[in-house]
Chain A
Amino acid sequence: MLELRGATYRYAGYARPAIHDVDLALADGEIVGIVGANEAGKSTICLVASGLAPASIGGGLTGTLTIDGEPMAGRPVHDLAARVAIGFQDPATQRSGITGTVFEEVALGPMNLGLPATETIARARAALELLRIGDLAGRDPARLSGGQAQLVAIASLLAMRPRHVVLDEPTAQLDPEGTRLVADALRALASAGTVLLVAEQKTDLLDTLCARVVVVADGRLVADGPTGEVLGDERLEGWGVEPPSRVRLARALAARGLDPSVVEGAT
């Protein structure tokens, strides 16, 4: 259980808060998508939910982040890291740059936690297998496709066995193949019971991935509910979010008085 309560966060050096009074609770086993226009506050919510803001990047937070009932305020980042992991857009800058193989890269997190080597190996192995990239173990992490590199970055987080994972637009920099690889991996992750918070522009992806979606506009949560309901909300475009293709198509047909059911089953 990860919970943000009344979270208002201001980046260091800025007068205005980037998010206002955000309440967001993620129950165990839940996958929640965040959508919103650019600069609406999606990334900020990700940083605050992972504790990096303010623990690592400074700035001012009012309100609380609690994980499994424990307040996270004042904890060092390495302590947060084992409870909630965060992944970013660009796979290249998430690579440590100090490892020669994918296996070593994935093992870096658990090793940093000070675990015995046998446990580190077991965790790295399990993370690679969960994302079905065991065949990449011996590869040079600097020489992977974008999609593969993003999977390695996610596996590197999973190896730390966090109960919560936050991903900020994990497919934004990827080509269609990479997007599909990551989408499949996220589904595998969901079925493994990890709590997942995913910010995405690609609503078609969220539509098939999560049961619940929240919308952020101008730094505030303006909608929170079942995926079908939120992504089908008439106000979505007004919030700067592209509705999923099936919603747009059905709407376009209905607008002409045609039967929108033709869309069903083609996704």
Chain B
Amino acid sequence: MEAPIGLLETDDATLVARLVPPTPSPYHRLNPTTKAVIATVASLGAFVIGGYVGPLAIIGVVLACAAVAGVLRRLVRVSALFTLPIAISVILVSVFTRAGTTVLFTIGPFDATLEGVDFAAQTLVRLFAISTAISLFGMTTDPRAFVLDLERRGLSPRFAFVAAATVEAVPAMVARAGTIQAAQRSRGLDTEGGLLARARGFLPLIVPVVLSSLTEVEERSLALEVRAFGRPGKRDLLWCPGDRGWERAVRWGLALLLLVAIVGRVAGIVGATV
């Protein structure tokens, strides 16, 4: 390990510029709240409108955005993985249990009806639209940028902390659980054996995970408190994501679009057949 050099030989502008997460594409450069609105409107829109045309159009738009952001392949893979387990259960349940008149085929006592298949397909399209929309947000937005943006818009920094710390706490807890498992296996706990042996190992694994997580949260909140985290009042942020006038217009436009969809759905003008 090299010895510390000491001096910070950069000007303030460069220092602050380094805090800004990289934005490799124009889509990444959008204000985080704009991206959050896009994800929300797309998800709710797909859910509200239903049917095929609406959700498929939404998927099309989301995938186009993902292509601009350069995350298309990853997005499709992640969304598919995310949707798959739910998809399987939806297909099994709806294809074979939904009552209908047009029987397509029969397996054992179950009839697969046209209505069942139609319902399953519609649900899948909706699910896929929602998961692509959420994944797109996750893949193109730095969580810290999002919470700073929310703080600038008046949200309490405490919320920002809880949100960001939760994201960070997961890998730490996984690592801790790994060490705990290693320690208990060293004491002869059989985690490679049968179900009974594993059941016996539940408490020795879970108790230290819970206790050490609690201790860590306690220590960490103390360490934050001593850095004046609990002080009320506004903070002068070193940086926060930029916002542009037209993005504001886009957000309101999208919100309006969602409203129209909801009204249309209620009035029965647009949407699903089921």
Contact = CB atoms under 8 A, between A and B. Distances in A.
Contact of B219 (A88, A116, A177): A88
A98 B168 contact: yes
B241 to A, nearest CB: 14
A29 B6 CA distance: 23
Contacts of A94: 219-220, 223
A215 interface: no
Contacts of A142: 168
Interface string B219-255: 1101111111111011111100000000000000000
B216 A93 contact: yes
Chain A, interface residues (CB within 8 Å), range: 35 or more
B257 interface: no
Contacts of A113: 228, 231
Nearest to B220: A93
Contact of B226 (A86, A100, A107, A135): A86
A133 B6 contact: yes
B256 interface: no
B102 to A, nearest CB: 56
Interface string A222-256: 00000000000000000000000000000000000
A173 interface: no
B205 to A, nearest CB: 21
Interface stretch (B13-21, B27-35, B125-133): B13-21
B164 interface: yes
A132 B4 CA distance: 6
Contacts of B9: 134
Contacts of A97: 164-165, 168-169, 220
A82 interface: yes
Nearest to B238: A117
Interface stretch (A20-28, A35-43, A121-129, A201-209): A121-129
Given A104-B19, A114-B233, A129-B7, A57 B228 contact: no
A100 B21 contact: yes
A217 interface: no
B238 A121 contact: yes
B236 A117 contact: yes
Interface string B153-175: 00001001100110011000000
B144 A56 contact: no
A191 interface: no
A94 to B, nearest CB: 4
Contacts of A156: 227
Chain B, interface residues (CB within 8 Å), range: 35 or more
Nearest to A98: B164
A163 B201 CA distance: 50
Interface in B205-224: 216, 219-220, 222-224
Contacts of A1: none
Nearest to A184: B4
Nearest to A130: B6
A145 B2 CA distance: 12
Nearest to A116: B236
B12 interface: yes
A177 B1 contact: yes
A102 to B, nearest CB: 10
Interface in B112-169: 142, 144, 147, 157, 160-161, 164-165, 168-169
Contacts of B1: 145, 177
Contacts of B236: 111, 114-117, 120
Contacts of A81: 225-228
Contacts of A100: 19, 21, 142, 144
Given A128-B8, A134-B9, A111 B169 contact: no
Given A77-B230, A135-B8, 15 more contacts: A88-B222, A94-B219, A94-B223, A98-B144, A101-B18, A101-B19, A109-B228, A113-B231, A121-B12, A121-B15, A125-B8, A133-B4, A133-B6, A137-B10, A142-B168
Interface of A: 50, 52, 56-57, 76-82, 85-86, 88, 90, 93-101, 103-104, 107-109, 111-118, 120-121, 125, 128-129, 131-138, 142, 145, 151, 153, 156-157, 160, 177, 181
19 contacts: A50-B226, A56-B225, A79-B231, A81-B225, A86-B226, A99-B144, A109-B227, A111-B235, A111-B236, A112-B231, A113-B231, A116-B236, A117-B237, A118-B12, A128-B8, A129-B7, A133-B4, A134-B7, A137-B8
